[in-house]
Structure 1
Amino acid sequence: MIFFITVLRALAALLITNAHYVGVYPIEIIANGGLLGDVIFFGVSGFCLVNIKQGFFQWYRKRVIRIYPTVWLITTIYILLGFYSLKYWSLAEYYFYPTYYHFVGSIIVLYIAFYVVVKTKVLLNNIPRLMVCLFMIELIIYIFIYDKSTYHIDTVREPMIRFLFFQSMLLGAYFRINKERFMDSNRIMNWVALLLTFIAYFGSKLTFVKFDQLSDYQIINQVILIGLLYFVFKSFAGIDTRLEKLPNKIKGIIAFVSSITLEIYMVQYVIIPKFSTIVFPLNWIVITFVIVLSAYLLHVISQAIIKSIERIINKKSNSRGYTI
Structure 2
Amino acid sequence: MLGMVVFSLGCTVEASKLCFHLRQPWGVLVGLFCQFALMPLTAYLLATGFSVQPAQAVAIIIMGSCPGGVISNIITYWMDGDMDLSIVMTSCSTVLGLGMMPLCLYVYTHGWVEAGHITIPYLNMGLTLLTLVTPVACGVYVNYKWPETAKTILKVGSVVGGLLLLVVGIASALLYKGSWHADTSILIIGSVFPLIGYSAGFIIAVILRQPWQRCRTIAMETGAQNVQICSTVLQLSFPPEQLLLMFTFPLIYGTFQLLNGLLLVSVYQIYKRTYLRRKPDVSETNMAFEIDPQPVSSSTPNNGSILTPKSKSSS
* TM-score range relative to shorter protein: 0.3 to 0.5
TM-score, length-normalised on structure 2?
A: 0.33
> Larger Rg: 1 or 2?
2
What is the TM-score with the length of structure 1 in the denominator?
Answer: 0.32
